[in-house]
Structure 1
Amino acid sequence: MDSVISLSLFLLLLHLLITADATATATAAFNLSTITFKQGFSTLFSDFNILRSPDDTSVSLLLNRYSGSGFISSDYYNYGLFSASIKLPANYSAGIVVALYTSNVDAFEKSHDELDIEFLGNVKGKPWKFQTNMYGNGSTSRGREERYNLWFDPALDFHRYTIIWTEKIIIFYVDEVPIREIVRNEAMGSDYPSKPMSLYSTIWDGSTWATQGGRYHVNYRFQPFTAEFKDLVLLGCPVNPSIVSITTSTSNNCSDKIADLEANPLTVITVEGRKSMRWFRRKFMYYSYCYDTVRYPIPPPECVIVMEEQNLFKETGRLKNIRFVQHRNHRSMRKRSSRVRRKESLRRRKETTLSQVVEPKKIPSVVVEVLEPKDTPSPAVEPKETPSPAVEPKEIPSPAVEPKEIPSPAVEPKETTPPPPPHRRRFRPAPPEATASGFL
């Protein structure tokens, strides 16, 4: 008996040590060297809406009725690790898009690559959504987006978002949780991003599609909308933007830095990381192109079909059942359920009323004799003619009235929707329509 207890304690201790070691490894991996804004970035557009901290370690992007704003890395990178801690706008955020993504559309306009993390705002009281996406070699017609909820409110505090891109694998992280993995294979061909890319960070007006398929637009009564960025990380092999269009995807000068990148612990998902990713995808993913058989009857080659996940989704790639986000308070859920019950009760009451057919009572007709009035002749009276005296009209001089100057009303300029970032106008594909579950 004692030996069994000792063995159980030993196994428990071993499990705790392995878990602690995995957690320590993941935590250590995120102790990344950060840089200042000046060391690695420059303004992309609307510098008047970009606020940098005095020590240059953080930057705020503003969106108002005049424009959004954005910044870009000073170099392109042959593969890399890109990361930032972000705090999103609070209150009413419908129609707002905040993005952290890599792209080379300025150098390869028709065959660009891209890796996206895009945050989609919502109406007051509703949580932010976000999506990840991948394009390779201009394959914008083959969107590979997945959409998720979060287990926290991203407007209350900073959280780290990371993109890892190597020659063999792409991993998206939220804090220390891996949420998506794309493993390169031969069947993908040029759809796998392989050309040098820059890192972009932007905030802009996506009223036409961002919130419930464009149902809710940006409300500029709540402007300015501010997205804050800090803990900026750029790791990889930098490439001069002026020669990137004639370089290949790899360079002899990059071999050492690419080797260092691939040796980073974050490029390999640990056993605990796999458990975290499985938990996230089952609880918070509400759309996946891999399970959208209407859109892709044959899943794209990078898709790994997990039966546990597939059973949660319809053939449209959307959830079969509505799942509530955990960070929403129970009071709002109770209010919603009570509204549903009231609507159901009202519907049943109407159905009951319509089913009860009441025959109208017969009302006896009453014959009313109408008496016609007798004709009585009225005496004819001839009008007397009275001559009217001739009166000559007097000329009344009209007073001179000076015309008053009527001030023209001041015309206030109409509110115009700020344009999206310059390169987004060229290829932005239409996103999926609002979901039946109402989470889009």
Structure 2
Amino acid sequence: MAISHVLMATTWLAVVAAVAAAALDMSPVPFHAGFTPLFGDDNLVPSPDGHSVRLKLDKRTGSGFVSKKAYNHGFFSASIQLPDDYTAGVVVAFYLSNGDVYPRNHDEVDFELLGNRRGHGWRVQTNIYGNGSTSRGREERYLLPFDPTARPHAYAVSWTPTAVVFYVDGAPIREAVRVPAMGGDFPAKPMSVYATIWDGSAWATDGGRHRVDYAYAPFAADFSGLVLRGCPAVDDEVGLGGGGGAECEVAVMTHERAVMTPAKRAAMRRFRRRYLIYTVCHDRVRYGGAVFPECDVDGDGDSDGFHEWGESKRIVPHRRADKAAVTGRPSTWPIGSLRAD
């Protein structure tokens, strides 16, 4: 018995050591070490030192890159500086997906940064799909408490078997806790990490009312601080914390970015009260009154602060007329038009 206890203790110490190592190493990876070009040819421009990359959109094409590995959970981050001036219809995305492997039942976790007209700020949208649940989009949109064109800001995702947490500049803005009633809607298959810039004229700015104007092209987004800390989907690869398999999963789930403390949840609620302008959790129009099961634990507060189509009553985006009061329809998107892929 004593020997077995020693072995158990040794195993546990190894796991603890792996977790400690994971907590210490969140350093960015050079672009070519972790990623490969996806599309765009010369519209994708790595920096001379290899630590950042510029993605451009012009009338000919957008551009993008993808991680060399797929991951079974992890923490993924990019610092992004967005294009200035007139950017209506432009979409800059940082996301996880496996659509190339599972085209009919893919999983996805999105940051989509949505351009705007001159004088109107960029907005950020988050989304979660599991097992091809594109007809049940879990969108949220937020204003940003800073100018995202003036300098880079970090957008990050912590994805574990039990929750997805979205971060902006190290502060959590959304937590989606996996509950049994979600079934296959929670992303659970290995995903790669993507970054793209593309033309979203059909939906991105006021439901498609304002489209990309290529007189202002090329539109350029700069990506730096690329962090890939996860468990590679191939069993024999080394993952977060120096090992793969169960040790890596433990490291991911116990990393401080995955653990939501009371202080972090309080900070998240403050952000959401100030900057959340749309949430599917309070949208009673799009899905005929249905409420997603995880919305009971998302901490959004009283539904009285939201219109029946999910838009905030309290937060009026800068220099945007509130047409909802006149038309009875959401002013940021026509019913049914939110992105679902």
User: Normalised by the shorter chain, which TM-score bucket?
Assistant: 0.7 to 0.9
Residue 303 of structure 1: SS of its match in structure 2? helix
User: Do the aligned partners of residues 138 and 433 (structure 1) sit closer, same or farther apart at CA in structure 2, a change above 3 Å counting?
Assistant: farther
Query: CA-to-partner distance for each residue in 1:340-366, whole Å, 9 max, x for gaps?
Result: xxxxxxxxxxxxxxxxxxxxxxxxxxx
User: Do the aligned partners of residues 303 and 322 (structure 1) sit closer, same or farther apart at CA in structure 2, a change above 3 Å counting?
Assistant: closer
Counterpart of 1:177 in structure 2 is 171
Out of 264-273 and 284-293, give the one that drifted further. 264-273
Q: Which whole-Å CA distance do the structure 1 matches of 2:47 and 2:92 have between them?
A: 19
1:257 pairs with one of 248, 255, 260: 248
Counterpart of 1:429 in structure 2 is none
User: Do the aligned partners of residues 89 and 253 (structure 1) sit closer, same or farther apart at CA in structure 2, a change above 3 Å counting?
Assistant: same
Whether the aligned pair in 1 keeps the contact of 2:96 and 2:192 (CA below 8 Å) is: yes
1:295, distance to aligned residue in structure 2 (A): 2.4
Q: Which whole-Å CA distance do the structure 1 matches of 2:193 and 2:94 have between them?
A: 7
Q: Which whole-Å CA distance do the structure 2 matches of 1:321 and 1:233 have between them?
A: 35
Structure 1 runs (4+) deviating above 6 angstroms are 28-31
Counterpart of 1:344 in structure 2 is none
Q: CA RMSD in A?
A: 2.4
Out of 62-71 and 312-321, give the one that drifted further. 312-321
Q: Which whole-Å CA distance do the structure 2 matches of 1:181 and 1:52 have between them?
A: 32
Counterpart of 2:258 in structure 1 is 267
Q: Which whole-Å CA distance do the structure 1 matches of 2:152 and 2:313 have between them?
A: 32
Q: Which whole-Å CA distance do the structure 1 matches of 2:248 and 2:210 have between them?
A: 45
1:316 pairs with one of 296, 304, 309: 309
User: Do the aligned partners of residues 309 and 33 (structure 1) sit closer, same or farther apart at CA in structure 2, a change above 3 Å counting?
Assistant: farther
Whether the aligned pair in 1 keeps the contact of 2:203 and 2:333 (CA below 8 Å) is: no
1:309, distance to aligned residue in structure 2 (A): 4.2
User: Do the aligned partners of residues 264 and 150 (structure 1) sit closer, same or farther apart at CA in structure 2, a change above 3 Å counting?
Assistant: same
Counterpart of 1:196 in structure 2 is 190
The structure in which a higher percent of residues are strand is 2
Counterpart of 2:274 in structure 1 is 283
Counterpart of 1:237 in structure 2 is 231
Whether the aligned pair in 1 keeps the contact of 2:111 and 2:126 (CA below 8 Å) is: yes
Query: CA-to-partner distance for each residue in 1:353-386, whole Å, 9 max, x for gaps?
Result: xxxxxxxxxxxxxxxxxxxxxxxxxxxxxxxxxx
Alignment of 1:336-375 (within 5 A): none
2:204 pairs with one of 210, 220, 232: 210
Q: Which whole-Å CA distance do the structure 2 matches of 1:255 and 1:207 have between them?
A: 44
1:434, distance to aligned residue in structure 2 (A): 3.0
1:433, distance to aligned residue in structure 2 (A): 6.7
Counterpart of 1:33 in structure 2 is 27
Whether the aligned pair in 2 keeps the contact of 1:318 and 1:435 (CA below 8 Å) is: no
Counterpart of 2:239 in structure 1 is none
1:319, distance to aligned residue in structure 2 (A): 1.9
Whether the aligned pair in 1 keeps the contact of 2:72 and 2:191 (CA below 8 Å) is: yes
1:434 and 2:332 matched = yes
Structure 2 letter corresponding to 1:210: A
Residue 50 of structure 2: SS of its match in structure 1? coil
1:108 pairs with one of 91, 94, 102: 102
Counterpart of 1:409 in structure 2 is none
Whether the aligned pair in 1 keeps the contact of 2:107 and 2:132 (CA below 8 Å) is: yes
Counterpart of 1:73 in structure 2 is 67
Q: Which whole-Å CA distance do the structure 1 matches of 2:84 and 2:23 have between them?
A: 30
Listed as ranges, the gaps of 5+ residues in structure 2 are 1-21, 236-242, 322-329
Q: Which whole-Å CA distance do the structure 1 matches of 2:97 and 2:153 have between them?
A: 22
1:310, distance to aligned residue in structure 2 (A): 1.6
Listed as ranges, the gaps of 5+ residues in structure 1 are 1-27, 242-251, 326-331, 337-431
Residue 267 of structure 1: SS of its match in structure 2? coil
Counterpart of 1:142 in structure 2 is 136
Whether the aligned pair in 2 keeps the contact of 1:64 and 1:225 (CA below 8 Å) is: yes
Residue 65 of structure 2: SS of its match in structure 1? strand
Q: Which whole-Å CA distance do the structure 2 matches of 1:102 and 1:64 have between them?
A: 24
**Which structure is larger by alpha-carbon Rg, 1 or 2?**
1
1:47, distance to aligned residue in structure 2 (A): 2.3
1:320, distance to aligned residue in structure 2 (A): 2.3
Whether the aligned pair in 1 keeps the contact of 2:284 and 2:310 (CA below 8 Å) is: yes
Residue 272 of structure 1: SS of its match in structure 2? helix
Counterpart of 1:127 in structure 2 is 121
Q: Which whole-Å CA distance do the structure 1 matches of 2:52 and 2:33 have between them?
A: 12
Percent identity over the alignment is 49
Residue 296 of structure 2: SS of its match in structure 1? coil
Q: Which whole-Å CA distance do the structure 1 matches of 2:123 and 2:220 have between them?
A: 17
Structure 1 letter corresponding to 2:304: N
Counterpart of 1:21 in structure 2 is none
Whether the aligned pair in 1 keeps the contact of 2:80 and 2:153 (CA below 8 Å) is: yes
Query: CA-to-partner distance for each residue in 1:15-62, whole Å, 9 max, x for gaps?
Result: xxxxxxxxxxxxx96972110011110010012101111110000000
1:151 pairs with one of 140, 145, 165: 145
Aligned length: 298
TM-score normalised by the chain length of structure 2: 0.82
